[in-house]
Amino acid sequence: MEVKLAKRVTLIKPSPTLTITAKAKAMKAQGVDVVGFGAGEPDFDTPENIKEAAIKALKEGFTKYTPVPGIDELKEAIIAKYEKEQGLKYDKSEVIVSCGAKHSLYNIAMALYEEGDEVIVPAPYWVTYPDQAVLAGAKPVFIYTKEENEFKVQPEELEEAITERTKAIILNYPCNPTGATYTKEELEKLAEVILKKNPNCWIISDEVYEKIIYDGREHVSIATVSPEVKERTLVVNAVSKTYSMTGWRIGWVCGNKEVVAAMSKLQSQSTSNPTSIAQKAAVEALMGPQDAVAEMVKAFKERRDYIVDRLNSMPGVSCFKPHGAFYVFPNFSGVYGKSYKGKTIKNSLDFADYLLEEYKVAIVPGVAFGDDNCARLSYATSMENIKKGLDRIEEAIKNLE
Total domains in the fold of the chain:
2
Q: Residue 258: what pLDDT?
A: 99
Q: What is the CATH number of the domain that holds 102?
A: 3.40.640.10
Total Cβ atoms within 10 A of residue 89 = 10
Residues 152, 212 share a domain: yes
* Each residue's pLDDT tens digit, 5-60: 999 999 987 776 677 778 888 999 999 999 999 888 999 999 999 999 999 999 99
Query: Does the residue 139 lie in any domain?
Result: yes
- Residue 203's pLDDT is 99
Residues 15 and 116 grouped into a single domain: no
- Which residue among 254, 288, 322 closes a domain? 288
For residues 188 and 310, membership in a common domain is answered with: no
Query: For residue 73, what pLDDT is reported?
Result: 99
269 DSSP 8-state letter = T
* Beta carbons of 141 and 179 less than 8 angstroms apart: no
Instruction: Summarize pLDDT for 325-363 with one digit per residue, the tens.
Output: 999 999 999 999 999 999 999 999 999 999 999 999 999
Amino acid of residue 250:
I
CA–CA separation, 383 vs 244, rounded Å?
A: 18
CA atoms within 13 A on the CB side of 241: 26
What is the domain extent for residue 313? 7-45+292-399
Task: For residues 107 and 243, state if they share a domain.
Answer: yes
35 and 145 in a single domain? The answer is: no
Q: Which helix (H) or strand (E) holds 340?
A: strand 339-340
Is 1 among the domain residues?
no
Low-confidence stretches of the chain (pLDDT < 70) are 16-17
Domain termination residue (choose one: 236, 266, 288): 288
The pLDDT, as a whole number, for residue 16 is 67
